[in-house]
Structure 1
Amino acid sequence: MVTWEEVELLSLSNGGMQNGVFYEVSRKGSGIPLINVGDLYQSAPITYERLELFDANDDEIKRFSVNDGDLFFTRSSVVASGIAHCNYYRKTTEKKPVVFDSHVIRFKTDTTKVVPMYLYLQCISPKARKFFVANAKTATMTTIDQDILGKCLIDLPPLPEQRAIAAALSDMDGYIAALEQLIAKKRAVKQGAMQELLTGKRRLPGFSGEWVEKKLGDLFDITSSKRVFQSEWRPSGVPFYRAREIAVLSEKGSVDNELFISYEMYEQYTREYGSIQSDDVLITGVGTLGKVYVVKEGDRFYFKDGNIIWLKSKHLINSNFLRQLYFTEAIISQVFGTSGGSTVGTYTIKNANETIVPYPPLDEQTAIAEILSDMDAEIDALTAKLNKLRNIKQGMMSELLSGRIRLTEQEAAPEAVAATKSAELPKQETATETAHKGGHNQQFDDAVMIAGIVNALYSDKYPLGRKKVQKCLYLLRRHQDESTAAFKKKAAGPYADEVRYKGGEPIAQSAHYIATTTVKDKGTTFARGSNISQALGYIKSWGKQGDIQWVTDKLKFKKVDELELLATVDMAICDLEEAGTAVSVAAIKHLIATNEEWKAKLKKQTFSDANIARAIRELQTLLQGGN
């Protein structure tokens, strides 16, 4: 076979590189589609359907009109890792020309030498990314010159092999997209079935008995486990599960666990206090509330008291029917509506005893549970195939883009063939038809939500600082029931360096969703960027307007010190709950006092006993149990 070449990126261009049209806010909203920085962070390829409009004049259209297969790179980034982020344009059925703005670099691809998708994949490879980051200029902003971009070395096989590689990976993207759509459809069907079958709106053939309502306390003996102290945890022995592990068990049916108790303790506790039995139900009472695991025959583990509610089966209700009920709004509203108590975000034994559930005849419960469980099993099997396909694709990219596996234009990657057979997918759209329809990552999500926060909080009269934005983002994530793992215990309270330096904030700045001004000794302030309307469009299309309205309603008029108090107390509460420690003012103060970054807070009036107590009460209402 023909040997691959290693060539400079610029040699694959027909017309070189250029920056785009100068962006003016007053000209957006009408005209022709415009590619800007934010579009580069969406799924590849870029297509005109998702672009905003810009009123370009005839001269700008002539100079900056985009060609099918052109590549685009970010010119600048707040952090080095964001420089030269790449995407490419694929022409579909649009009649209008498309232009691009001055904050991105357009690379005119010579399609007689290189397949655009293949070149894009090379430009996002670890080899290219290492080159771009190493050769960028770093000052206040990280920038990269067109000359530097052009010197990046590209591994180039003959055109037929490029097409074969692009086709194999494109087909794999198509299979993945088709399977994602199929799973989404199956989940929607299951949701509809739940709404009908679990409410009695639709009865299964052969069942006509009356539905009633009962309290869980009448159907189970409800308790918890014997306390196990952290000092008694072991690196091996009998698995010991906290709420987080039960939540994973509920979702996946298995869990990788690092905590154990000794066999001797397990035998003693189960002998004195009982052991889990088949059809018992375990429900998470802290963290992610209301996750249900039905104990299976042969299960052997112990679990954390207080964190997990133990429903001992009396065989008066089908346990799998009950598990399905905990996915319904009727039960979810009871879980979160009763989770105030003496702590934030808890579902207690008392709450569980009082939880009211619909109760059809037992044989109908069993039939409903079997139907819905079969649906779950089908979705789980499809999800496993999806994960397999994604792993196969990653392996294909590594092998095909390095030349370790060679293809001809007539060949298909054997991995792709095997994967499609194992997935048994229906024929659906290829990747080039579906990839442009969506897809975004956590960093881009953060960029958009930061823009939404800035839009909600910004005022010409009062400066909006980074500290307030960070606290609002933390509380918003808690409200959204999303991970706050990026936020660490810093002097200013929960603070996410990775959001500031590596992800959401620099992307929002590069995309001009936000504008920042830094003044020595006064810090950085935020304002609306020239392109913030695009971020607000994403918020609308993602259905997140309610979350931003929550920020406006709950956080806009709070002072920075008050937000620091709320965020700090909330993070402390999460730590206490995870450790199985009762939440109180004294416990929160002790946690703050024993943390080097936080202990100075207790010298401030903001963190007085009365204010901490008030924060505990306010968080109950503010977050409504979201974790």
Structure 2
Amino acid sequence: MVPEGWTEEYVKGLVRSLDAGVSVNSEDDGNENATHKILKTSCVSYGYFKSDETKSVIEQSEIARLREPVIANSIIISRMNTPALVGANAYVEIALNNTYLPDRLWQLKPKNKVVEMRWLAYWLGSAHTRYRLSNLGTGTSGSMKNITKSDVLNLALLVPPLPEQKKIAQILSTWDKAISTTEQLLANSQQQKKALMQQLLTGKKRLLDENGVRFSGEWKFVVFSDAFKIANQKSTQVKSSDYLSFGDVPIVDQGQKLIAGFCNNSEHYKDIPVIIFGDHTRCIKWVDFAFCPGADGTQILVSRSTLDIKFGYFLLSHVDIPNLGYSRHMRVLKELEFKIPSDLREQHSIAAVLTLAENEIKKYEQKLDALKQEKKALMQQLLTGKRRVKVDEEAA
């Protein structure tokens, strides 16, 4: 059903052209003196145009081959990428001087007064359209897909009147600004935590004790076995094939996510808190709730009497463990030495400060996730006409 006042169109009827760049030799060196740049495919990977995702084109013969400059009020589209990112696009508001497209990117150029390009970029970036483009993609490799110009230009869509397009784009742009601001706050918090860890976990910065006196006790070196103990309980482990989407007990394994799934096992790990170390992945997790561990590569660590366990968690998070691929990394961990304060009170104080920094990061991560989910739901409503916007009479 077509919303009142909307029309059925094809992308090709809304734009002037869809143009491709060319493949040239470039240098990924961040050369500030380079007069010509070429975009990386990653400039549109996540729906926002990253103007600094470029390579330098140095050779005059390669510069002469450059074809499509990045113009204002256009949309950059990834024609070749992974199944999840093929068709990824972003709106370009301002032209970039001497910056050009590679052959893996297209530029959708506007047709005057026919469509609001920022609105069209939101429509192209919607979950529904991205799903359609990914399904249209072809390729012999399972890791890469290609779409054609015809795939993009022949997409059918419902188009609201131009004033409504502009209003929708304005609303969604406000959400983008909130997301961008939160992302920057998150990045700042992550950087601050990293700097704090570098200072506090090496003794370069000493904290004050409960009496306001700076800790001055010496630090000592300990080997892994003097600080940590492996406390795996095989009877509580759950195979990945037995993970449930819902259940009474969360499962923590060596993957990136804190909770990988659920189970309803009556026997689970209750002696908390513990540290989880991913034997294959090198992931470090703090777990302070009852759980079942994953069966493969999930190592449960507890601290010995010389170590505050939360301090131990941050200590392991700060250690640089070389990537050995899918090999076991516990053997590397067992060979390391750790420098720790002799005074448990200082360890506890350091852990408390770093916990506050970590909680700040979690707060922004949760806020960012909520904003993205809310924007996604709003896009689905506004771009389909299920929810209409009010347009000023003057604008209409």
Match of 2:218 among 211, 235, 238: 211
Aligned position for 2:13: 11
The 2-side partners of 1:349 and 1:70 are apart by: 51
Q: How far apart are the structure 2 equivalents of 1:402 and 1:392?
A: 16
User: Matched residues in 2 for 1:395 and 1:165: separation?
Assistant: 13
Q: Report the CA distance between 1:362 and its aligned residue.
A: 2.0
Which residue of the partner structure matches residue 108 of structure 1? 109
Structural RMSD (CA): 4.9
| Deviation of 1:106 (Å) | 4.9
Query: Match of 2:381, as an amino acid?
Result: E
Say whether the 8 Å CA contact 2:164–2:389 is kept in structure 1. Answer: yes
- The equivalent residue for 1:321 is 311
Contact 1:321-1:369 within 8 A present in 2 as well: yes
| 1:111-150 equivalence runs, <5 A | 111-125=112-126, 144=148, 150=153
**Partners in 1 of 2:199 and 2:266 — Cα distance?**
46
Contact (CA 8 Å) 1:19, 1:103: kept in 2 or not?
no
Question: Residues 69 and 100 of structure 2 are in contact (CA less than 8 Å); yes or no, is this contact kept in structure 1?
Answer: yes
Alignment of 1:462-481 (within 5 A): none
SS in 2 for 1:327: helix
1:114 is displaced (CA, Å) by 1.3
Pick aligned residue for 1:347 from 313, 330, 341: 330
Higher helix share goes to which structure?
1
Whether 1:308 and 2:299 are equivalent positions in the alignment is yes
SS at 2:347's partner residue? Answer: helix
* Percent identity of equivalent pairs: 19
Identify if the C-alpha distance between structure 1 residues 392 and 240 changes in structure 2 by more than 3 Å, giving closer, same or farther: closer
1:200-279 alignment runs, 5 A limit: 200-205=203-208, 206-213=213-220, 214-215=222-223, 217-218=225-226, 222-228=229-235, 239=249, 243-244=253-254, 248=257, 252=258, 255-259=259-263, 261-263=265-267, 276-279=270-273
Question: Are 1:157 and 2:157 an aligned pair?
Answer: no
C-alpha deviation, 1:372, in angstroms: 0.9
CA distance in structure 2 between the partners assigned to 1:136 and 1:305 by the alignment: 35
Q: Taking structure 1 as reference, are residues 212 and 256 closer, same or farther at Cα in structure 2, changes over 3 Å only? A: same
**1:208, CA displacement in angstroms?**
3.3
Contact 1:9 1:149 in 2 (8 A): yes
Match of 1:172, SS? helix
Aligned to 2:343: 361
**When the two structures are superposed, what TM-score results if normalisation uses the length of structure 2?**
0.70
- Whole-angstrom distance in 1 between the partners of 2:139 and 2:355: 55
Matches of 1:109 and 1:310, distance apart in 2:
58
Q: Give the deviation of 1:226 after TM superposition.
A: 4.7
Distance 1:104 1:35 in 2: 8
Task: State how far apart, in whole Å, the 1-side matches of 2:227 and 2:69 are.
Answer: 69
- 2:45 touches 2:85 (CA, 8 Å); kept in 1? no
Per-residue CA deviation, residues 168-196 of structure 1 (Å, 9 max, x unaligned), is 21221221121111111111111111111
Please give the residue correspondences for 1:282-301 in structure 2 after superposition, counting only pairs within 5 Å.
282-284=275-277, 286-289=279-282, 291-293=284-286, 295=288, 299=290
Equivalent position SS for 2:317: coil
Classify the secondary structure of the residue corresponding to 2:196. Answer: helix
User: Is the CA contact 1:200–1:211 (under 8 Å) kept in the aligned structure 2?
Assistant: no
Q: 2:91, 2:118 within 8 Å by CA — same for their partners in 1?
A: yes
- Distance of 2:366 and 2:315 partners within structure 1: 25
Q: Give the direction of change, closer, same or farther, for the CA distance of 1:52–1:111 in structure 2 (3 Å limit).
A: farther
2-structure distance, mates of 1:305, 1:83? 33
Mapped pair 1:370 → 2:372: no
Aligned equivalents of 2:73, 2:129: Cα separation in 1: 19
- Asked if residue 194 in structure 1 is aligned to residue 197 in structure 2, the reply is yes
One-letter code aligned to 2:254: R
* Partner Cα distance (1:139, 1:309) in 2: 42
SS at match of 1:210: coil
| CA offset digits 1:500-526 (Å, max 9, x no partner) | xxxxxxxxxxxxxxxxxxxxxxxxxxx
Deviations 1:73-119 (A, max 9, x none): 56x76999988665544325x5x466657776654312412111111
d(CA) in 2 for partners of 1:349, 1:139:
39
CA separation of 1:169 and 1:301: change in aligned 2, threshold 3 A: same
TM-score, reference length from structure 1: 0.47
Q: Distance in 1 between matches of 2:80 and 2:296?
A: 48
Compared CA separation, residues 374 and 2, structure 1 to 2 (3 A): same
1:121 aligned partner, one-letter code: Y
Q: Which residue identity lines up with residue 215 of structure 2 in the other structure? A: S
Per-residue deviation at 1:292?
4.7
Cα distance between partner residues in 1 of 2:180 and 2:309: 35
Q: SS at 1:203's partner residue?
A: coil
Q: Give the residue type in structure 2 aligned to 1:185.
A: N
Shift of 1:370: 1.1
1:559 maps to: none
SS at match of 2:203: coil
Tell me the residue number matched to 1:572. none
Displacement of 1:152:
3.4
Q: Is the 8 A contact 2:39 2:101 kept in 1?
A: yes
**Contact 1:227 1:305 (C-alpha < 8 Å) held by counterparts:** no
Offset of 1:120 from its aligned partner?
2.1
Counterpart of 2:172 (choices 164, 169, 174) is 169
Which whole-Å CA distance do the structure 1 matches of 2:297 and 2:135 have between them? 51
State the 1:295 CA deviation.
4.3
Say how many residue pairs are matched: 369
Residues 13-51 of structure 1: CA deviation (Å, up to 9, x unaligned): 3xx32656776669xx97655668776657544758837
Match of 2:204, SS?
Answer: coil
Does residue 379 (structure 1) correspond to residue 361 (structure 2)? The answer is yes
TM-superposition CA deviations, 1:119-178 (whole Å, max 9, x none): 1222344665677688899999977466x7554333221222211211221221221121
* 2:390 alignment counterpart: 408
Residues 36 and 328 from structure 1, CA distance in 2 versus in 1: closer, same or farther, beyond 3 angstroms?
A: closer
Choose the corresponding residue for 2:94, options 91, 94, 109: 91
Measured in 2, the distance between the counterparts of 1:229 and 1:178 equals 42
Larger Rg: 1
Conserved? CA contact 2:46–2:88, under 8 Å: no
1:258-289 CA distances to partner (integer Å, 9 max, x unpaired)? 445445xx6xxxxxxxx75455x344262234
C-alpha spacing 1:309/1:113, structure 2 compared with 1 (3 Å): closer
Superposition pairs for residues 505-520 of structure 1, below 5 Å? none
